[in-house]
Amino acid sequence: MKLKINKKKLRKIEPTRNAFLSLASSIIYQQISTKAGNAIYGKFLKLFGRKKPSPELFLNFSIAELKSAGISPQKAGYLKDLAEKFENKTINHKNFHKMSDTEVKEHLLQVKGIGPWTADMFLIFALNRPDILPVGDLGTKKGFQKAFKLKSLPSEIQMLKLAEDHNGERTMLTLYLWDILDNE
């Protein structure tokens, strides 16, 4: 069943100009409230001063500086791994535009702290890929439940089946599912 989606009402997303910063922010925001994430992310950005956040600059920060920004030791390790992989070209962000969605995900999963959810969010928000359905995202599951009037949260297989009519534009479906939850 194809849902009727008003594209004009969906949030607008712009491609990122700084893949490192986009991925770093995803790591910072993982498993914490938006309010806490905003506070930590703001302090993280202040570490760079007026300079553009980069992997090279990040690698110069001490553990104490990262801790002062509210970054846990575990996330500091993830961010360090991300920066190192950007620096040594294990993650070559200049090739993202040439890669398929699957290739980008596989590429990103090499970084400690980046899993399928983070990779999906990067594909949606940083690269603006049109056909991403983050089946591991709780908001997506709840959106499916509400939109399709399901008694319980759907399985991955059920979500993929319900989204079949939206193949090629599943990112728009995802944004719609999140939007109907936000407007409850």
Active site members: 137
Residue type, 175: L
| Alpha carbons 184 and 182: distance in angstroms, whole number | 6
What secondary structure does DSSP assign to 119-184, as a single string? HHHIIIIIS--SS---TT-HHHHHHHHHHTT-SSPPPHHHHHHHTGGGTT-HHHHHHHHHHHHHT-
Residue type, 16: T
Q: What angle do CA 61, 63, 66 make, to 5 degrees?
A: 70
Q: What angle do CA 63, 69, 70 make, to 5 degrees?
A: 90
| Alpha carbons 123 and 16: distance in angstroms, whole number | 10
Helix (H) or strand (E) holding 44: helix 34-47
